[in-house]
């Protein structure tokens, strides 16, 4: 099954069912332009055999970054910036695969060191310890219109540069996800309250993007199956939004879940208990974090679905495809080290490695502390820095750093982010 092509509603054909999932790179220059490191990285991944590559967050607003080092398209690019995007797109498609840009706005999930007063649906601060995120400012009507136009402008620039499609990031607690959630969206106007109002921004962005890229360019949306937070975006709402997206000419929905506060995307429980959802547990492909939700969604909609998170076994991937739970399989962390993982799966490899199982922020003598939720959650986020550092190494040198520890990776990534911000502020 994984070797079969997939024809999307827009008519585009993806050569196989494996996708290099979106992972933040942090490799743009301080002006937010694509770099040779991004070219090298995505050229390597394009050679790796996946039918589809998704970029990390390309930000539509330079004041609302997911992290330092994001690519930024917040206006009409200069000639140099456009050429850099074109080179990135060429490298990312050299294997004959699709390469879609993931477009995003961080909203309140923008670190304080980037923006101490980020714009968001409502003045609801991110509920995380550590004080890394500032007090958000409620968006005005003009702010909201700027976001809609920003998504459209960014999509047009990227498609014109050679990207074969785009994905709007409406999951994981970023801006579009913030509007969907009644927990973070407490507005009383046309953008808040009932679901049709909370979904209005996402649907408006999709419509505007479709208008500028035309009917033949693939448009995807990354959508939370649920936030898994009390009072948050729930699965029954996600299903309704998916139906609206299908009617709105979206070609593929990637099913994910969770936020920074409740990191189900990492298969973790946040500081508060996970809010259970009324979805029956699947008897198939149990290692996939969100297959239950995809299976339930498939019964209601026909749009192609992609499941990312947890899948490592070839038989589980094929089972998800054969039973209709998913049409595409997203592969993330394994490709930070095993860059040809898709090719190996297509050639019969039975299972991908779980690098995260051997990683720990704590030294061996203190690993017993991982039974405490706070230590476990902090350690999991720190482990992400190890994968970030592998991505950075691939981009800069073409090779990984397998002997790197989690603490060293965390220090290296923190230093790189601070240096990038210092240079950006000096521009």
- Interval 46-65: pLDDT, tens: 999 999 999 999 999 999 99
pTM listed for this prediction: 0.92
- For residue 234, the model assigns a pLDDT of 84
212 pLDDT band, cuts 50/70/90, is very high
The domain segmentation of the chain, as residue ranges, is 6-352
Average pLDDT of span 120-136: 85
Q: Give me the chain's average pLDDT, please.
A: 89
Kindly give the residue spans of alpha helices, DSSP state H, lying in 13-65: 36-46
- For residue 403, the model assigns a pLDDT of 83
**CA-CA distance, 29 to 192, in Å (whole number)?**
36
Q: How many residues does the chain have?
A: 427
- For residue 289, the model assigns a pLDDT of 65
Q: Is residue 411 scored above 80 in pLDDT?
A: yes
- For residue 270, the model assigns a pLDDT of 46
Average pLDDT of span 52-81: 97
218, 164 in Cβ contact below 8 A? yes
Average pLDDT of span 389-408: 92
- For residue 57, the model assigns a pLDDT of 96
Q: Is residue 157 scored above 70 in pLDDT?
A: yes
6-352 has CATH 2.40.37.20 classification: no
Average pLDDT of span 1-13: 97
- For residue 116, the model assigns a pLDDT of 94
Look at residue 381 and give its three-state secondary structure: helix
Kindly give the residue spans of alpha helices, DSSP state H, lying in 309-372: 314-322, 341-346
251 pLDDT band, cuts 50/70/90, is very high
Task: Identify the CA nearest to 259 among candidates 238, 240, 233, 278.
Answer: 233
- DSSP conformation class of 173: T
Q: Is residue 360 scored above 70 in pLDDT?
A: no
- For residue 377, the model assigns a pLDDT of 58
220 HSE (CA, 13 A, CB side): 33
Kindly give the residue spans of alpha helices, DSSP state H, lying in 162-312: 175-180, 195-198, 200-213, 235-247, 291-298
Q: Is residue 278 scored above 80 in pLDDT?
A: no
- Interval 177-189: pLDDT, tens: 999 999 999 999 9
């Amino acid at each position: 099954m994984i070797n079969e092509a997939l024809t999307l509603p827009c008519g585009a054909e993806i050569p196989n069912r494996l996708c290099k999932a979106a992972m933040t790179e942090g490799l743009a220059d301080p002006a937010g332009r694509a770099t040779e490191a991004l070219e090298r990285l995505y050229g390597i991944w394009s050679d790796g055999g996946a039918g589809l590559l998704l970029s990390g967050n390309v930000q539509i607003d330079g004041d609302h970054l997911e992290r330092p080092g994001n690519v930024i398209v917040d206006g009409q690019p200069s000639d140099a910036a456009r050429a850099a995007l074109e080179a990135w797109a060429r490298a990312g498609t050299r294997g004959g695969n699709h390469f879609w840009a993931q477009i995003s706005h961080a909203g309140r999930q923008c670190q304080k060191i980037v923006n101490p007063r980020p714009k968001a649906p409502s003045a609801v601060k991110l509920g995380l310890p550590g004080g890394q995120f500032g007090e958000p400012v409620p968006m005005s009507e003009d702010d909201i219109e700027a976001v809609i136009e920003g998504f459209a402008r960014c999509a047009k620039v990227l498609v014109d540069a050679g990207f074969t499609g785009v994905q709007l990031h409406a999951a994981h607690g970023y801006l579009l996800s913030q509007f969907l959630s009644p927990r973070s969206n407490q507005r009383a106007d046309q953008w808040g309250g009932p679901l049709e109002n909370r979904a209005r921004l996402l649907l408006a962005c999709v419509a505007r993007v479709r208008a500028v890229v035309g009917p033949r360019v693939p448009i995807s949306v990354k959508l939370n199956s649920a936030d898994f937070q009390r009072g948050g975006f729930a699965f029954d709402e996600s299903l309704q939004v998916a139906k609206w997206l299908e009617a709105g000419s979206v070609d593929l929905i990637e099913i994910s879940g969770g936020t920074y506060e409740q990191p189900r995307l990492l298969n973790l429980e946040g500081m508060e208990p996970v809010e259970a959802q009324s979805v029956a547990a699947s008897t198939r492909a149990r290692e996939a974090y969100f297959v239950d939700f995809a299976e339930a969604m498939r019964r209601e909609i026909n749009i192609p679905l992609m499941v990312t998170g947890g899948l490592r076994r070839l038989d589980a991937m094929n089972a998800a495809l054969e039973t209709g739970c998913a049409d595409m399989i997203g592969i993330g962390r394994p490709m930070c080290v095993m860059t040809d993982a898709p090719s190996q799966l297509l050639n019969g490899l039975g299972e991908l490695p779980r690098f995260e199982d051997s990683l720990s922020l704590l030294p061996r003598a203190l690993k017993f502390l991982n039974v405490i939720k706070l230590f476990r959650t902090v350690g999991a986020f720190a482990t992400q820095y190890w994968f970030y550092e592998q991505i950075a190494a691939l981009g800069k040198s073409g090779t990984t750093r397998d002997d790197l520890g989690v603490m060293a990776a965390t220090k290296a990534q923190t230093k790189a982010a601070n240096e990038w911000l210092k240079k950006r502020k000096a521009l």
